Amino acid sequence: MLDPRAEKLARRGFKYLNRFMLLMWRLGWGKMINAMPDSMGRIMVITHTGRKSGLKRRTPVNYAVVEGELYCTAGFGVVSDWYKNIQKTPQVEVWLPEGRWAGEAEDVSAAPNRLPLMRQVLIGSGFVAPAMGVQPRAMEDESLDKVTQPYRLIHIKRTSPLSGEGGPGDLAWLNWVLGGLTLTFLLLGRLSKGRHS
C-alpha cells in the first residue's frame, strides 16, 4: 500500500497513462494492448456519464472475466471520478477486445465472494497492482483483504452488444495519415541523401 504522497503521484501518473491507453483504443489497437495480459494487464474502456456535466466520459481500467461475468476495481476507492459517476448513473458502455457492450455497473464490494473476485481483477492488472505495492498472486487472503479494503469492486452486467459510431477505433483513420507521413519523410530523407552522395 502506498503512503498518501506516493498515492498522489501515482494518481497523477495514471491520469497520463489512461490518456495514452484511451488513445490506443481509439486508434483501434485495443486487441494489441491486451495481447500480453500477464505483464501488461487486461485493459478495457468504460464510457460513463459525468455526474455534474452529464457528458460522456471514458476511463481505461483493468478487469477480469470470472465465470462469464465482468469485474473491475476502483483502486483509489470512492474518490475516483469514474466511480462517483457510475454511482449516480450505473448505465455504462464497455470496450473489450472482443467487442463493445452496453451494461449496468454495480458496486459489489460487500459481496461474500469479494476477495477471490478482487484477486482475479488484481491479477488481471498485470504490472499495475505490484506497482501499487499489492502482490495478488503471492499474498495470503488476510493480507490481501486488509490492503484492498479501500478498493471498490465493480460488477458490470453486460446487457447488449453495441456497434456503430463512437466505439473503439473511431480514430483508426489516423493510422493511415501517420503511416503516410512517416513514409513520406523516409522517402524524402533517402532522396536528400542520394543527392548529396
Residue with cell 491479477: 123
Higher pLDDT, 93 or 196: 93
pLDDT in tens, 149-180: 999 999 999 999 999 888 888 888 887 877 77
User: Tell me, what's the pLDDT at 11?
Assistant: 67
* pLDDT tens digit sequence for 131-146: 888 999 999 999 999 9
Lowest mean pLDDT among 10-14, 87-91, 96-100: 10-14
77 — alpha (psi -120 to 50), left (phi > 0) or beta? Answer: left
Spacing of C-alpha 150 from chain mean position: 19
CA dist 48 and 180 (Å) reads 34
38 pLDDT tier (thresholds 50, 70, 90): confident
Q: What is the mean pLDDT of the chain?
A: 90
- The burial of 42, by beta-carbon neighbours within 10 Å (0-12 exposed, 13-18 middle, 19 or more buried), is given as buried
Ordered by where they begin, the domains of the chain are 4-169 (2.30.110.10)
> Phi and psi for 69 in degrees, rounded to 5?
-105, 145
Q: Which amino acid is at 39?
A: S
User: H-helix or E-strand containing 176?
Assistant: helix 173-195
Yes or no: say if 118 and 144 are a contact pair by the CB < 8 Å rule.
Answer: yes
> Is a pLDDT exceeding 60 seen at residue 79?
yes
| Residue 58, CA distances (Å) to 11, 24, 104 in order | 16, 13, 15
Smallest CA-to-CA distance from 154 within 93, 64, 35 is with 64
Length of the chain: 197
List phi, psi (to 5°) of 155: -100, 130
Q: What is the DSSP string of 89-109?
A: --EEEEEETTEEEEEEEEE-T
Q: Taking a C-beta distance cutoff of 8 angstroms, is the pair 134, 67 a contact?
A: no
